[in-house]
Structure 1
Amino acid sequence: MMKQFLTLLLAVVALSVPITAQAAPLRIEITEGVIEPLPFAAPDFVPENSAARQLAQDLAQVVADDLAGTGLFRQIPDSAFISQISSFSSPVQFADWKAINAQALITGAVNLESNGRLVVKFRLYDVFAGQELGGGLQFAGTQDGWRRMAHKVADAVYSRITGEGGYFDSRVVYVNETGPKNDRKKRLAIMDYDGANVQYLTDSRSIVLAPRFSPTGDRILYTSYETGFPRIYLLDVASVRRRVLEDQTGTMSFAPRFGPDGQTVVYSVTQGGNTDIYRMDVSTGSAQRLTSAASIETAPSFSPDGSQIVFESDRSGTPQMYIMSATGGEPRRISFGQGRYGTPVWSPRGDLIAFTKQSKGRFHIGVMRTDGSEERLLTASFLDEGPTWSPNGRVIMFTRETQGAGGQASLYSVDISGRNLKRVKTLGGASDPAWSPLQN
């Protein structure tokens, strides 16, 4: 399956029919309040040859699932359609789509050439304005990459209507869990953001924890107990080759995360009973100690511009969140609510920090401003932890574990306003998710 990601060639070109750019009224204004989902119609794409018939249906369904899954859009069922789209070039009968209250209409066509090359094109219409929204686009690649093309169509539709970047053409690396709770087997797995195209990157002979993508999505950092002590490994996604990143005798290293330059890594090292944060240049192996307090410092995360690091520390007596310069120095505390704070992760937009909070016997996923203001708790359960951001900073994925001897870890996602909480599809138990950037 990895081959499809490596061989997929996506060419994005304007369709031959010229489109005049316009400021259309069709737009979702995303606020912190209740959003009324925008009704849209996504008829089966038009197959331009018989070989493309099933793909035309499947592509349209993935596009519709992507959009409806955000909670911002509501799909109108095919049974309500008055008009059918039988030709990609035929004029749209806007009155028929207005009659069923479709505010957006997505049309597409699919051609599977004899050499296996797949061509997908689409258009987006503002039904009530009676105009096309933006220009038509065309994607071309291998047949195996049809889901990626569907995600790219959905990203384009999402972006044009919301004004934000999309997040559907992305992947998630996580820890796959099998077996009973007292003998849990763990291995690294990678999948599309919606749970499709699962691959396993390691076996289950050793405990693995906290996988993290590089900024380009081609490498993964993770912690393994393969040697009996936690060690940080660097894995190449395409080749699945790996190497130990940091190995000091008598120490434990864990909680790694890339900097935005892709060459710098921050992580924690435990030595002599003390845990501090270090940073390393991946290419040279040169390491620098950033903290030296007589406390536990862990879970570091860079700001998007690489100038600061947020991390977890118990220097005040309980785990709290602090921010310091990326080169070290005196940190400032940003969490002051009741409870214990941990696993902070900086939003890709730079405006928020997501975290895990434990308070009054419950676990929460929350967000706050980088100065500690406007704290909002988005979830509450027996055990929620380990947030990770979607590439556009709109959605947070995390681990939720159920109670009891038969409890199992699963992945969930929630919008940053606290809406649209839902379980993410995975094969078996799953924990420690990390969201990739958009794929190239």
Structure 2
Amino acid sequence: MFRYRLAAMLAVLAACLAPVKTAWAILEVDITRGYMEPLPIAVPDFVFMADAQTDVGPLSVVGRDIAGVISADLNRSGLFRAISREAFIRPLSASEVRPDLRIWKAVGAQALVAGRMEQLSDGSLAVEFRLWDVLGETQMTGMRYTLPPRNWRRVAHIIADAVYKRLTGEDGYFDSRVVFISETGLKTQRIKRLTIMDQDGANVKYLTNGRDLVLTPRFSPSQQEITYFAYYNDRPRVYLYNLESGKHEVLGDFPNMTFAPRFTPDGNGVIFSQAISGNSDIYEMDLRTRRVRRLTDDPGIDTSPSYAPDGRQIVFNSDRGGSQQLYVMDRYGRNVDRISFGRGRYGTPVWSPRGDLIA
């Protein structure tokens, strides 16, 4: 289960906020144990720092929406239990810089996310939050963000990431997106489209029209580009899509089929498979110079490469041993080792972000 322990002499300076006192007792979440008891956390509605003459109009509900997204993000992680707003004794006040932590302790909260907002003269929205250790009665961190009001959902994810990292020590993943292939239409007329959405399922956007088959999309490390496999004009090839410009481009003018692409860890290259005369091998293209290097040269079918996070090794699947199994090689295509020996077929491997597991 969680251990809520005290770390001596650890202080966090809140960025863009008034200086805070050194926190001598900091709440932390230990996620190293097999069974975890979710940490109870309160996320009341963010309140406006507005005077009686200021009309925030449609923005009046944004504070509740931001708190709702933060609570949902933390709940989905399994590490936190957001306390229902119906259990709150009273809402936060816009004048409270330091909330009355006794009230939040009474509802069972061990951590509190207190947020305030301000509509600026240029129409933008300033959102700030402070994370409090309720039992230790200390502020743990805080931030202030300025954004267009339409981006309120994203700032909620960013705040959830900051809370998650401060309490667990691990990077959050809430301000991220998912790229996938969506299928729609009748059973006999299904179409596949390249699609992205926020990690919580919001803001779904189609990137292709469904007229051509698209498969295996992968984000770049910056999440600004996507590489994928498509049958455009009946030619099976790897493509790149830039999310900012909306531009699609083919990855090199190869005469043969290219497929199974992934970005390199630094985002400067794409590793993929190319089929020549019925044999598939693994190649890598440097996106800056467009130079291509061949990494495998084997009679078997080598495909689905995935780099380790540190860029030193590549896992892939191959039938070079008689059945489809997983292999690891160094970044130069040397020192190939087989790592799977079970029954059945092993395919489409991917390295975990930490580099300690392969799925």
**Aligned-residue offset at 1:195:** 1.4
The answer to whether the 8 A contact 2:26-2:138 is kept is: no
Does 2:241 match 1:235? yes
1:144 to 135, 140, 150: 150
Unmatched segments (≥5 aa) in structure 2? 1-12
Does 2:322 match 1:317? yes
1:352 to 333, 354, 357: 357
Consecutive aligned runs of 4 or more in structure 1 exceeding 4 Å deviation:
none
Percent identity between matched residues is 50
* Higher RCO, Cα 8 Å, sep 6+: 1
**Aligned-residue offset at 1:174:** 1.2
Partner residue of 2:3?
A: none
* Counterparts of residues 40-439 of structure 1 (less than 5 Å): 40-49=41-50, 50-51=55-56, 52-134=59-141, 136-249=142-255, 251-354=256-359
With normalisation by structure 2, the TM-score equals: 0.90
The superposition leaves residues 2-57 of structure 1 with CA deviations (integer Å, 9 ceiling, x where unpaired) of: xxxxxxxxxx9724421134353422211351211111111101122341421111
Q: Give the residue type in structure 2 aligned to 1:131.
A: T
Q: Give the residue type in structure 2 aligned to 1:24.
A: A
The answer to whether the 8 A contact 1:88-1:107 is kept is: no
Q: Give the residue type in structure 1 aligned to 2:209.
A: D
Structure with the higher strand share, 1 or 2: 1
Distance 1:159 1:21 in 2: 19
**Aligned-residue offset at 1:265:** 1.3
Distance 1:181 1:301 in 2: 33
With normalisation by structure 1, the TM-score equals: 0.74
Unmatched segments (≥5 aa) in structure 1? 1-11, 355-440
The answer to whether the 8 A contact 1:41-1:75 is kept is: yes
Distance 2:97 2:283 in 1: 61
SS in 1 for 2:61: helix
Distance 1:22 1:347 in 2: 34
Q: 1:91 to 1:22 in 2, by over 3 A?
A: closer
Q: Give the residue type in structure 1 aligned to 2:155.
A: M
**Count of matched residue positions in the alignment of Structure 1 and Structure 2:** 341
Q: CA RMSD in A?
A: 1.8
The superposition leaves residues 37-89 of structure 1 with CA deviations (integer Å, 9 ceiling, x where unpaired) of: 11111110112234142111111111111111111111111121124311253
Q: Give the residue type in structure 2 aligned to 1:73.
A: F
Distance 2:98 2:293 in 1: 63
Q: Give the residue type in structure 1 aligned to 2:38.
A: P
Q: 1:24 to 1:225 in 2, by over 3 A?
A: farther
Distance 2:245 2:356 in 1: 35
